[in-house]
A = this chain, B = another copy of it.
């Protein structure tokens, strides 16, 4: 069912089509529905959340906030093996993100002119964790660990309610949240959860920034609240998940097949590409895919994704790299004889998995890298979620009298060039004052080596 293509036999239009992503549905109906839900939550607060939970989740009385006792009881249900696996993943993710701690920067750009770039955690962040067919504790860690390391003063988690009661959510999610020190967990999902985070309700205080993946209602709601200055910022643009596996003849076909299927099982809209310099390897991989599908629980979903997947033969590795760069995959798996030689040539992948022992699953769960990644070609410009996404950067500057003397005349010249008279006046008034006060102390302050913080 995978479409097999020979890159060199395609014309330019066919090559573009081979790497094209599906158009994302631009549904006016979806936009209207989501805008209606947001308006309802802004108007009625908790009452709207409970009403929508009754309507969409069939829950008569969703208490929204998971109590401390409920959290403790859920964690007590967790199997020890899973607890240990979550702890192992937490440790690796923490070690990798802890190494990303930003440092404040101080520069005396001219004697007496002190400039700083300071980085402080964002005040409040909201983490959306999808529910549905399977719980996603890994996403809790990917969002919760950097929020914890950044020291965001307030971190809340929202996730769709469980069944039969709202509080019956996956123990794995609650335990991962506990490790990350998340203060509040609310059992509410969908566009209504995003609206609550962006605008606040009686129970859920407004947050500054919203992180996390979700279905198309969640994605549309994130988009809408991010367009409103009274709403909230969001982590990154969303799109279907995708992988490109690049191989030569040396790759293990069973490994490659499982890696392709790992992506395909995410959802029917997952994008799966195999690029190889070996026709024989492509054939062996596709045979393995068929065999593995027989034993996979989510084979139906994977088959739908594979129906629009492509295997592309290229005559050499240089062409394979060029195809990869043109596609700009979210996940790039490289399994060739000399991976390291290729690595510096990739310029658009969001996360790269190197060698036979590095499946995408490793990064999805436990290597330590973040699995929240730009997709749909955005990785040409956008970045892997990192610790820095939980910080705000701002500048501080202080001129001493000597600093003003040193750069003031240039500022007046530039302000006059830009015809901004008050900008010039703000400086010339100060220069006049300095001339009056201390005509013989023009060097004052410039040689003291004082920094902004020491003053």
Known: A361-B415, A386-B117, A399-B355. A381 touches B377 (CB 8 A): no
Chain B residues contacting A302 (CB-CB under 8 Å) are 422
A313 sits at the interface (CB 8 A):
no
Q: How far apart are the CA atoms of A129 and B212 in the complex, in Å? A: 35
- Asked whether, in the complex, the Cβ of A410 is within 8 Å of the Cβ of B88, the reply is yes
- Asked whether, in the complex, the Cβ of B134 is within 8 Å of the Cβ of A420, the reply is yes
Chain A 128-151 interface residues, beta-carbon cutoff 8 Å to B: 133-138
- Asked whether, in the complex, the Cβ of B233 is within 8 Å of the Cβ of A239, the reply is no
Mark interface residues in A360-383 (1 if CB within 8 Å of B CB, else 0).
111111111110000011111111
Copies of this chain, whole number: 2
Q: How far apart are the CA atoms of A424 and B360 in the complex, in Å? A: 11
Chain B residues contacting A383 (CB-CB under 8 Å) are 391-394
A357 sits at the interface (CB 8 A):
yes
- Neighbour of A418 across the interface among B136, B258, B409, B418, CB < 8 A: B136
A255 sits at the interface (CB 8 A):
yes
User: Looking at chain A, what size class is its interface with the partner chain?
Assistant: 35 or more
Chain B residues contacting A381 (CB-CB under 8 Å) are 122, 208-209, 232-233, 392
A32 sits at the interface (CB 8 A):
no
Chain B residues contacting A364 (CB-CB under 8 Å) are 411, 415, 423
Chain A 75-123 interface residues, beta-carbon cutoff 8 Å to B: 81-82, 84-86, 88-89, 91-93, 95-96, 99-100, 105, 107, 109-110, 113, 115, 117, 120, 122-123
Chain A 223-276 interface residues, beta-carbon cutoff 8 Å to B: 229, 232-233, 237, 239, 252, 254-255, 258-259, 261-262, 264-266
A427 sits at the interface (CB 8 A):
yes
- Asked whether, in the complex, the Cβ of B85 is within 8 Å of the Cβ of A413, the reply is yes
- Asked whether, in the complex, the Cβ of B357 is within 8 Å of the Cβ of A399, the reply is yes
Q: How far apart are the CA atoms of A120 and B422 in the complex, in Å? A: 40
In the complex, residue of chain B having the shortest beta-carbon distance to the beta carbon of A408: B362
Chain B residues contacting A120 (CB-CB under 8 Å) are 347
Q: How far apart are the CA atoms of A353 and B350 in the complex, in Å? A: 37
Q: Which of A4-12, A38-46, A157-165, A292-300 contacts B (4 or more CB under 8 A)?
A: A292-300
- Asked whether, in the complex, the Cβ of B262 is within 8 Å of the Cβ of A354, the reply is no
Chain B residues contacting A82 (CB-CB under 8 Å) are 413-414, 417
A388 sits at the interface (CB 8 A):
yes
Interface of A is mostly: mixed
- Asked whether, in the complex, the Cβ of B258 is within 8 Å of the Cβ of A422, the reply is yes
In the complex, residue of chain B having the shortest beta-carbon distance to the beta carbon of A298: B421
- Asked whether, in the complex, the Cβ of B115 is within 8 Å of the Cβ of A105, the reply is no
Q: How far apart are the CA atoms of A117 and B453 in the complex, in Å? A: 31
Known: A107-B99, A398-B354, A421-B265. A426 touches B360 (CB 8 A): yes
A213 sits at the interface (CB 8 A):
no
Known: A411-B362, A427-B359. A349 touches B379 (CB 8 A): no
A404 sits at the interface (CB 8 A):
yes
In the complex, residue of chain B having the shortest beta-carbon distance to the beta carbon of A264: B422
- Asked whether, in the complex, the Cβ of B384 is within 8 Å of the Cβ of A393, the reply is yes
In the complex, residue of chain B having the shortest beta-carbon distance to the beta carbon of A260: B422
A280 sits at the interface (CB 8 A):
no
Q: How far apart are the CA atoms of A426 and B259 in the complex, in Å? A: 6
Closest 3 CB pairs of A and B: A109-B368, A383-B393, A258-B426
| 20 sample A-B contacts, Cβ–Cβ < 8 Å, listed by A number | A82-B414, A85-B417, A100-B105, A109-B368, A113-B362, A134-B417, A137-B414, A208-B380, A254-B429, A262-B425, A262-B426, A295-B421, A355-B399, A357-B404, A361-B415, A362-B407, A362-B411, A365-B414, A368-B397, A384-B394
